[in-house]
Amino acid sequence: MGVLISGTGSNMKALVAASRAADSIFEIACVVSNKADAAGITWAKELGVATQIISHRDYPSREAFDAALNDYMQAQHLDAIACAGFMRVMTPVLVAPWAGKILNIHPSLLPLYKGLHTHERAIAAGEKEAGCTVHLVTAELDDGPILAQARVPVLAGDTPESLAARVLLEEHKLYPKALSDFLSR
């Protein structure tokens, strides 16, 4: 597996931990970030996982950046890619060569609340339930086939931050399990 991140990398950390369990069926070969200062890169290094920075700022277009990412991923001979807080919209240049092999985790119960600020929007809408979704990536944002979901209650007085923290705990359990299930299909 390759893991794509842009920030904190707590889901990446959960995937690395799961990959090191005795019964794991996957290995994390590399963690790639489009941001050099992503905290997750420091974590990945501490965990002894190979890291690579490929900055979108070094490329003139989304397509050129995606081509560079694809070249790197292909050279690693990966079976699949897990996006974990990777904050770039992907073009077909990257999605097509990995069709059916790129997963993402999104902090909402898709198809509800695609895009950003999911928790803020769920609270504003008066939702009683929120959650997270692991899905396959397609060229449409947060739109690919759903592989797994986990639900949490929205509690009275929740802020986007308190709800995000509750959902994130579920993300860390859901993603490794959904990935294992996906790889053993």
Member of 44, 84, 130, 179 binding ligand GRF (CB under 6 A): 84
Member of 2, 85, 131, 144 binding ligand GRF (CB under 6 A): 85
Query: In 1-86, at which residue ranges do the beta strands (DSSP E only) sit?
Result: 2-5, 30-33, 51-53, 81-83
Min CB(76)–ligand GRF separation in Å: 21
Neighbour tally for 89: CB within 10 Å: 12
106 noted as active-site residue: yes
Which residue in 106, 119, 135, 172 is the catalytic one? 106
Residues written for the chain: 185
If the CB atoms of residues 45 and 74 are measured against ligand GRF, the closer one turns out to be 45
The secondary structure of residue 89, as a DSSP letter, is: P
Member of 32, 69, 70, 106 binding ligand GRF (CB under 6 A): 106
Amino acid at 63: E
For 50, the 3-state DSSP assignment is coil
Where along the sequence are the contacts to ligand GRF (CB under 6 A)?
Answer: 5, 7-11, 40, 84-85, 105-107, 132, 168, 171
